[in-house]
Structure 1
Amino acid sequence: MFNLRKCLAAVCLVASIAPVHARDYHYSDAHLHYVDFFQESDGMKRLLKAMDAGNIDHVMISGIPVAKKWHENEPKRPRYYAGDDAPVYWYSATDVVVAAALKKLDEQHRHRFHPFLSGFNPNDKNADAHIRRMLELDPGLWQGLGEIFTRHDDVTALTEGDTPRANNEALTRVYHLAAEYDLPVMLHSNITSKRERNPLYLSELEDALRNHPHTRFIWAHAGTSMELHRHQEKLEFLLPTVQRLLDDYPNLYIDLSWTMLRPYLLDESDTPVQDWVSLVEKHPTRFMIGSDVVGRFEGLGDGMRAFDPFLDALPEAVAKKVARDNFLAVLPKKKAEKN
């Protein structure tokens, strides 16, 4: 005879000793470059395959606003922008490459991509006019601006022309245009230099935040970079700085792409850092994650899943916002409503 009481007891015993399954995340990659510094790419077919394999529902997709020069005096083509001393130069055609790739997609795939326009010189006060022309050429295509390169390690040193600043006059005009079109702005503005152990360049970002309250800013990897980490390992002032900025500026959002993963979000043993967990819990709609890959997509899923230990330390509802929904919410209102 079937004994219901014993059966239920057995089920409860199995449930009590069975391992807890990890959460099943779906992601938005909030920081992806379709091309590399030579304006080359693995292509859309490989990108879609990597997205499907990695549970990546949506991506911010942009070009690279500079191109690396293969100098006449170099016998071998460099493999990266830092491969030799040849300069990089502003390259507007990067947006043409991105747009052409997107226009070949059917609607089933097209809605997963959120293109940001990046191919303009942030030192040129004509930049806003160029952006306006690009927006008018493809109405409804572009959903944001950036990644805009300002303070950017060796890219800054190699870029032909003046060093861009997040608070220069040319970008002031761009920020006004972004507010007019309801476009978020992803800004790369390093918080300091390789050797200064203080937020040396913070005022440049903060000027932009303060003077453009109607423009939504996504701070690329919170002003950090791998080059900064090579010289300083960990910026001890970063956490209190981000805390204050989020409290002071409701138009600021933080991109937690790869240089933020360690040593900030996870410690040496891959344990979530509680201070950062608490900060994200305090501002649950202001953080997003990204891969920051450049034209190569083979490890895309692994790069996004690397955030799982940190996400697992958050309340589940907050974790899902950070993993997927916060990026979608920062897009122009009409686009955000469709997702």
Structure 2
Amino acid sequence: MERFVSKSFSSTHFLHNSLIANLVGVRLALALLVMSLLAMPLLSGNAQARDYQFFDAEIHYQDAKQATDGMDFLLENMEKASIEKALITGFSVTKKWASSSPRRPFSYGADDAPVYWYSATDMLVYDAVKSLPEREQSRFYPFITGFNPTDLNAVDHIERLLKRDPGFWKGIGEVFTRHDLLSAMIEGERPLAHHPALMRVYQLAAKYGLPVMLHSNLTSPVMKEFIYLPELELALETNPKTTFIWAHAGLSDAITLQQTVEGLPELVAELLGKYQNLNILLSWTVVDALYDAEGVPKTDWLEVVKSYPNRFVIGSDVVGGFSPLKETMDHFRPFLDALPEEVAHRVASTNLLQWLP
């Protein structure tokens, strides 16, 4: 009997606990359901507000070997990365395969052989874009880059291309000047932002209403002062009617890897206030400078962009290979999300259009 009573009590106790557990579970499930329903409008609102359609402001169709993944692969990866439009250009130098090199170099920094200016890079871009249906062609904004910026004849080469197919080319660049390792490997005279040959190019750009994308480092890998800044400022001062897009805000790999560049956001703000013809392309190594060690967007960079919301664009800076497009553009999202919505969409997609012909 005791065994029977004990068994009945245990069964009743188990049933009681199960009912309580079920009631608690139901209440918890209802509470979670209500919380999720309340949160859904907020989440969907944020997703809609930050559904970026990017205008990638820097795609190099070829690399330093003038090799490319091709237009079909580029378009496929643009779709994955939500890139609606793209500034497309070639690569103005090509790597020499010297007889002293035991194998073909895979990049301009693979060995100590020099690089040289390569004008055919523009025709490779031209043929690639022209091979597309008209609707797809309209997504690309080609820039001329295949000229020697130390040659006073460069302006004539550019104008021949402009007249060959009027309206096709939308700008000039990326023009390589101070570019640490790359500029050190260029055969012949070193290009500078204020070189007399480039001054003529800037004047031609103003005549046709074309922006110029300029790569001009602020300093060398071993110096902390902005020793090359006067070269950039002279170009800006002398050509107030030329629209400049300053690539990477004066940074490059060798600079950011070997030293900490301090005061750059403050300098960028000062230059933007001083020169109305200056705009900033946030791409390549400057992307990492936008975040702190924990990956949080830096307040100083956010404030500069908010102060000059029409003067910044972003770009992937892919070079001939297009697999990294989505990952690269996604890297901008936390920074863009930290900006006011309207400013974020300007930087992500619309600012570049106002500088183009």
Smaller-chain TM-score bracket: over 0.9
User: Using the alignment, how far apart are the partners of 2:37 and 2:281 within structure 1?
Assistant: 38
Query: Which residue is 1:335 aligned to?
Result: none
Question: Could you tell me which of 14, 25, 33 is aligned with 2:52?
Answer: 25
Which consecutive unaligned segments of at least 5 residues does structure 1 have? 1-8, 333-339
- Structure 2 residue aligned with 1:172: 199
Q: C-alpha separation between the residues in 2 aligned to 1:140 and 1:78?
A: 36
For the Cα contact (< 8 Å) 1:27–1:58, is it kept in 2?
Answer: yes
The amino acid that maps onto 2:299 is: Q
Amino acid at match of 2:302: V
1:215 paired to 2:215: no
Deviation at residue 35 of structure 1 after TM alignment: 0.1
Which of 304, 307, 319 is residue 344 of structure 2 equivalent to? Answer: 319
Alignment of 1:224-243 (within 5 A): 224-232=251-259, 234-243=260-269
Residues 35 and 319 (structure 1), Cα distance of their counterparts in 2 relative to 1, 3 Å cut? same
1:32/1:294 contact within 8 Å kept: yes
Q: Could you list the per-position Cα deviations for residues 237-292 of structure 1 after superposition, in whole angstroms to 9, with x for gaps in the alignment?
A: 31221111000011101000021111x21111110101111110000000000011
CA shift, 1:73, in A, is: 1.3
| Residue deviations 1:163-222 (CA, integer Å, cap 9, x gap) | 111001100100000000000000000010011101110011111111111000000000
**Residue 6 of structure 2 aligns with which residue?**
none
CA separation in 1, counterparts of 2:346 and 2:268?
19
Tell me the residue number matched to 2:223: 196
**Identity rate, percent:** 51
Whether 1:295 and 2:320 are equivalent positions in the alignment is yes
- Structure 2 counterpart SS, 1:258: coil
What's the CA shift for 1:12?
7.5
1:244 corresponding residue in structure 2 = 270
- Give the whole-Å Cα distance in 1 for the aligned partners of 2:80 and 2:36: 31
Opposite residue 129 of structure 2, the aligned amino acid is: L
Distance in 1, matches of 2:321 and 2:132, equals: 19
Equivalent pair of 1:40/1:295 in contact (CA under 8 Å)? yes
Report Cα offsets for 1:1-59 as digits up to 9, x if no partner. Answer: xxxxxxxx999754444473442111011011000000010000000001111110111
Deviations 1:80-125 (Å, cap 9, x if unpaired)?
Answer: 1010000000000000100010111111100000000000000000
Query: Which residue number corresponds to residue 335 of structure 2?
Result: 310
Counterpart of 2:12 in structure 1 is none
- Note if 1:97 corresponds to 2:124: yes
1:59 is aligned to 86
In the alignment, does 2:79 pair up with 1:42? no
Normalised by the length of structure 1, the TM-score is 0.92
Hey, what's the Cα distance between the residues in 2 that align with 1:286 and 1:62?
Answer: 21
Shift of 1:325: 0.6
- Please tell me whether residue 71 in structure 1 is matched to residue 98 in structure 2: yes
Give the 3-state SS of the residue equivalent to 1:46 in structure 2.
helix
Task: Please tell me the root mean square deviation across aligned C-alpha atoms, in Å.
Answer: 1.5
8 Å contact 1:34–1:98 — kept in the other structure?
Answer: yes
Runs (4+) of structure 1 exceeding 6 A deviation are 9-12
DSSP 3-state at the match of 2:318: coil
Aligned residues, how many?
A: 322
Give the alignment partner of residue 282 of structure 1, picking from 302, 307, 312. Answer: 307
Alignment match of 1:267 (pick from 292, 312, 315): 292
The answer for unaligned runs of 5 or more in structure 2 is 1-30
One-letter code aligned to 1:226 = D
Q: Distance between the aligned counterparts of 2:284 and 2:99, measured in 1?
A: 34
SS in 1 for 2:210: coil
Take 1:156 and 1:251, find their aligned partners in 2: how far apart are those partners? 25
Give the counterpart of 2:157 among 121, 127, 130: 130
- SS of the counterpart of 1:311? helix
The answer to whether the 8 A contact 1:198-1:237 is kept is no
Alpha carbons 1:90, 1:119 under 8 Å: kept: yes
In the alignment, the residues of structure 2 paired with residue 10 and residue 159 of structure 1 have an alpha-carbon distance, to the nearest angstrom, of 64
For 1:4, the equivalent position in structure 2 comes to none
Partner SS for 1:255: strand
What are the Cα deviations for residues 145-178 of structure 1, in whole angstroms up to 9, with x where unaligned? 0000000111111000111110011001000000
2: distance between equivalents of 1:295 and 1:51?
13
Partner AA of 1:76 in structure 2: R
Q: Distance in 2 between matches of 1:222 and 1:54?
A: 24
Alpha-carbon distance between aligned partners in 1 of 2:286 and 2:149, rounded to the nearest angstrom: 25
Deviations along 1:286-339, whole A, 9 cap, x unmatched? 00000111000011011111100000000001000001111122111xxxxxxx
Distance 2:338 2:190 in 1: 40
Residues 180-191 of structure 1 correspond to what in structure 2 (within 5 A)?
180-191=207-218
